[in-house]
Chains A and B, each alone.
Chain A
Amino acid sequence: MPDFDAKKVAEIHEHLHSHLPSESALRVKALETLLVDKGLVNPQTIDAWIEAYTEEIGPKRGARVVAKAWSDPDYRQRLLDDAPAAIDELGYLGKATAHLKVVENTDAVHNLVVCTLCSCYPFSILGIAPAWYKAAAYRSRAVRDPRGVLAEFGVDIDADVEVRVWDSTAELRYLVMPQRPAGTDDMSEEELAALVTRNSMIGTDRDLGLE
């Protein structure tokens, strides 16, 4: 009986053909191929979407909206009254922001956004949702124990500050307007936008620094 080195055979086999993608990757390839063949999606559209949301959009758009609201009281009011129209003024309106409400942090109120059902998120202006936003731990605990969740992010909220939790849906998503840091009166909108963190616009960050 000849020697049979299973590991060696596997290595040779691996070398002979291309690396097989994961089961999930194969299923996505299958689905995309079928949809493209039937003219239901355009592969260029998919590629452009991925490039835009992973590289270009990010949370910068949301930060610019917040910075403009800090700098321009009339814009701030328009944003609070009708967020989609105000965001459209900056050319950022996407279908995912068509039903968006902006909630404002104050000395007395801190806002926190969650989607308890799945992961509804204003990705047109914040990019792709972070991993923790999609985690069951966040979705279940944000409503039940918002202060505990905030503490995990290093945000301690004084007992006299009300924490409001907003549950996003496909029809209504939320963006938190954080408070403008003190000592930023002379800053331009661009400089202000650089201070706004993604987490502050979801509510898991509160006191923005000047770094």
Chain B
Amino acid sequence: MANSEEITLKPLAAVDGQPAFDEAWQAEVLAIADTLVQNGMFSAGAWSDALGAALEKAAADDAVDNQETYNRCALHALETLVAEHSDIDQRAMQGKREDWEQAYMSTPHGQPVNLKSD
């Protein structure tokens, strides 16, 4: 917890005016989560609980208090809820993630990256 006092005292106003998202995937996580709430896959309360649990764990693990941590928690919460409320499990997510990595690795620089069709 050596770091927590320093983090707690970090001026909040210093991050006022920062962009809402550092990278596109961060916006995509919130967009997908809100869309799935609107579509009824899970409730707004379930999303709040899952995100809150992920943030609480990050704080307990002394994760740095910044947007990167927040958005990683949001992604974790989204993956957890999708696994709970659909037939998309963690294994499928990992498999598709590897497919995307392979697609990037095998696509020449400057070309559009597409997944090979199954």
Contacts from A to B (Cβ < 8 Å): 14-22, 24-35, 38, 40-42, 45-46, 49-50, 53-54, 95-96, 117-120, 127-132, 134-141, 149, 152-154, 169-171, 199, 204
Q: Which 6 A-B pairs have the closest CB atoms?
A: A30-B96, A117-B52, A170-B44, A128-B20, A30-B97, A170-B48
Q: Is the CB of B31 within 8 A of A46?
A: yes
29 contacts between A and B (CB under 8 A): A16-B108, A17-B108, A18-B107, A18-B110, A21-B104, A22-B25, A24-B72, A24-B75, A26-B97, A26-B101, A33-B96, A41-B39, A46-B32, A46-B35, A49-B31, A49-B35, A50-B28, A95-B37, A96-B34, A118-B48, A128-B20, A131-B15, A131-B19, A132-B16, A136-B59, A153-B12, A169-B48, A170-B44, A170-B47
Q: Which residues of chain B are within 8 angstroms of A119 by Cβ–Cβ distance?
A: 51, 70
Could you tell me the dominant secondary structure of chain A's interface residues?
helix
Contacts from B to A (Cβ < 8 Å): 7-8, 10-13, 15-21, 23-25, 27-32, 34-39, 41, 43-45, 47-49, 51-52, 55, 58-59, 65-67, 70-72, 75, 78-79, 82, 86-88, 92-97, 99-101, 104-111, 113, 115
Shortest Cβ distance from B16 into A: residue: A132
Alpha-carbon distance between A28 and B108 when the two chains are bound, in angstroms: 22
| Residue from the set A14, A118, A119 with the largest chain B CB neighbour count within 10 Å | A118
B64 CB, nearest partner CB in chain A, Å? 10
Q: Is the CB of B113 within 8 A of A18?
A: yes
Partner among A14, A27, A137 whose Cβ is within 8 Å of the Cβ of B8: A137
Q: Is the CB of A130 within 8 A of B8?
A: no
Partner among B20, B97, B115 whose Cβ is within 8 Å of the Cβ of A27: B97
Q: Is the CB of A18 within 8 A of B31?
A: no
Alpha-carbon distance between A153 and B17 when the two chains are bound, in angstroms: 12
Q: Which residues of chain B are within 8 angstroms of A96 by Cβ–Cβ distance?
A: 34, 44
Q: Is the CB of A118 within 8 A of B51?
A: yes
